[in-house]
A and B are shown apart, each in its own frame.
Chain A
Amino acid sequence: MEFPEDVKYTREHEWVLVEENTATVGITDYAQDQLGEIVYVELPSVGDKVSKGDAFAVVESVKTVSDIYAPVSGTVVEVNEDLPDNPTLVNEDPYGDGWIVRIEMTDTTELDDLLTAEEYQAYIAEEEEAE
């Protein structure tokens, strides 16, 4: 399982890559593995305003449906147009071709709440322990 060091993580199993004012968001390798094969991704529209914590996209596998929560507030400036036809990109390359949206951030201090790769792995281990 991969946990790249150059992205930040949420407790809802999203990753966030920050480049200047833009945050690229996807779901983690751990999350895609838990979900199984993704059959559907429901994307927001470009231009949508989102607040941190909003459920703004949906990733669906045969067994479950998962909301994707905005890790930061801002405006959706790009969505991954390849996903509607190839939702399994999320399984195959969660940190690359399986990215979901790009958000132009309004408050970069929100990034302070995100986890590092190391913290996120510790968080997963705790969650699994609790099961």
Chain B
Amino acid sequence: MPEEPRRSPLHGAHRALGARFTRFAGWEMPLWYSSIREEHEAVRHRAGLFDVSHMGEIEIEGPAALELVLGVATNDARRLRDGRVQYSLLCSPQGGILDDVTVHRLSGERFFLCVNAANTERDFAWIRRHAPRDAEVRDASAEFVQLALQGPAATEILSSSVPLDLRSVGRFAFVEARILDMPVLLARTGYTGEDGWEIYLRAPGLGERLWAALLDAGRSWGLVPAGLGARDTLRIEAALPLYGHEIDESTTPWEAGLGRFVDLGHAFVGREALERQLREGVPRRLVGLEVRGNALARPGNEIFAGERAVGHVTSGTFSYSLGKPVALGYVRPEFAEAGRPLAIGIRGRRVAAEVVPLPFYRRR
């Protein structure tokens, strides 16, 4: 028997909205409410509200908090100021990616990491294993509701709900505020390629109230609830990696095109292996592919150069913004340059594809 799925504190609200649910990383979460296309387009042109309460939150506190973050994460957390967020990677000693995370600096002695649902427990154990005596690590995931308000109207919608002008808050910065009387942390981050906010509320019991308040505030801007289906099509267009697809323990940041989030000027788990791979070269690289015809490439489909298998697809979808199918996948480095014609094996047929620069979609 499959294990009972975990459910968001907002499950009842989703059900009331007629959501279609899906299983993801052990959770039962909304896949769509109206349709993936409508929700995708709402986020690109207006705004969408996602329940992402399945994501994990790990708190690190104490005099050695910064030392711990530096020791386990590839990016240079010394560059973070209070109220700023940094995208970073946790790597194994072999340089494989254990997770991709956002690191929020509340103070020099208080950080919190937003981590992937599927990896929360492993990340927690991993970070705690590397913790010096003066750093306390807590898995606070069960205490949070997390929402993502994304789209060109997101900042205006959220500003209407708080006594702050959020336009002055920069990308990858966060502020603490109140919505109605609920204390929230508002981070100008997201996973859609649009302007937007990730909203953390440490009070699961108030989640439905926050959800309803935001949907209400956004009504006149055309805000709609959006599910994991649109989240996936949006993030693929923006070439944002999904753990278990583009990245996992067998892939390194160099291979995944995430080298800009690796700072070799500080010691961290995996640094030596990553330095070595930088010297020796990568065996494969993540590329974007535009796919001819209308069949969708799926994870695991082989990528061919002529008759030769040179890689595999990690994610594929229909790009609503481009009006054609696209895919992400790994290929041997000599086949990774833009313009290279390749083919994808889809259900026994070879479908023509071409390597294109990433991201597929960039907001103007």
Contacts and interface: CB of A to CB of B under 8 A. Distances in A.
A57 B317 CA distance: 20
B32 A58 contact: no
Say which size band chain B's interface belongs to.
10 to 19
Contact of B36 (A36, A42, A84, A87): A36
Contact of A62 (B20, B295, B296, B347): B296
B317 A62 contact: yes
Interface in A32-63: 36-37, 39-40, 42, 58, 60, 62-63
Contact of B233 (A42, A62, A65): A62
B294 interface: yes
Please report whether the interface of chain B is mostly helix, strand, loop or mixed according to DSSP.
mixed
B32 A36 contact: yes
A42 B37 contact: no
Nearest to B20: A36
A36 B296 contact: no
B300 interface: no
Given A36-B35, A58-B347, A87 B294 contact: yes
Contact of A36 (B229, B232, B317): B229
Interface residues of A, number: 12
Contacts of B296: 39-40, 60, 62, 65
Interface string B323-364: 001000000000000000000000100000000000000000
Interface of A: 36-37, 39-40, 42, 58, 60, 62-63, 65, 84, 87
Interface of B: 20, 22, 31-32, 35-37, 229, 232-233, 294-296, 298, 317-318, 325, 347
Q: Which 7 pairs show the lowest CB-CB distances between chains A and B?
A: A40-B294, A39-B318, A62-B36, A40-B295, A37-B35, A37-B37, A62-B318
A100 to B, nearest CB: 15
Contacts of B317: 62
Kindly name the residue among A58, A63, A65 whose own CB sees the greatest number of chain B CB atoms within 10 A: A63
A39 B319 CA distance: 11
Contact of A63 (B229, B294, B295): B229
A13 B353 CA distance: 33
A39 B317 CA distance: 10
Contact of B298 (A39, A42, A65): A65
Contacts of A84: 294
Contacts of A60: 295-296
B358 to A, nearest CB: 20
A80 B229 CA distance: 28
Nearest to B293: A40
